[in-house]
């Protein structure tokens, strides 16, 4: 199990980014959460199988159809054993 925290920059609020992120994560069996930040970015944490988590990180670079992602910052973290996937 691995954990990644991402900060997604660009037009990522008001375009269904968090909802789409949750659907993608659930399809891949990834646990974690996604939230809007006051600066207009989306922050997300992904935990799970290394392949699935890396697929999520790759997905964040494009996001849903109406998103315009300009940059994704990725940090490795120690897994906490999260359950499910939440949006805030």
Domain that holds residue 39: 2-73
Is 87 inside any structural domain? no
Radius of gyration, alpha carbons of the chain? 12
Tell me which residue of 46, 44, 64 sits closest to 54, measured CA to CA: 46
68-77 vs 42-48, strand pairing mode: unpaired
How is residue 15 written in tokens? 């375009």
pLDDT, tens digit only, all 88 positions of the chain = 999 999 999 999 999 999 999 999 999 999 999 999 999 999 999 999 999 999 999 999 999 999 999 999 999 999 999 999 999 9
Is 57 inside any structural domain? yes
Q: Which pLDDT value is given to residue 57?
A: 98
What's the domain count of the chain? 1
16 Cβ contact partners less than 8 Å away, ≥ 6 residues apart: 64, 66, 67
Catalytic annotation, residues = 18, 36
Q: Which pLDDT value is given to residue 87?
A: 95
Neighbours of 52 (CB within 10 A): 19
């Amino acid at each position: 199990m691995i954990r990644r925290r991402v900060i997604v920059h660009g037009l990522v609020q008001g375009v269904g980014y968090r909802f789409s992120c949750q659907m993608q994560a659930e399809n891949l069996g990834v646990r974690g959460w996604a939230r809007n930040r006051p600066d207009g970015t989306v922050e997300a944490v992904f935990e799970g199988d290394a392949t699935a988590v890396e697929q999520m990180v790759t997905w964040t670079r494009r996001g849903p159809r109406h998103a315009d992602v300009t940059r994704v910052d990725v940090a490795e973290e120690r897994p906490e054993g999260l359950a499910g996937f939440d949006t805030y």
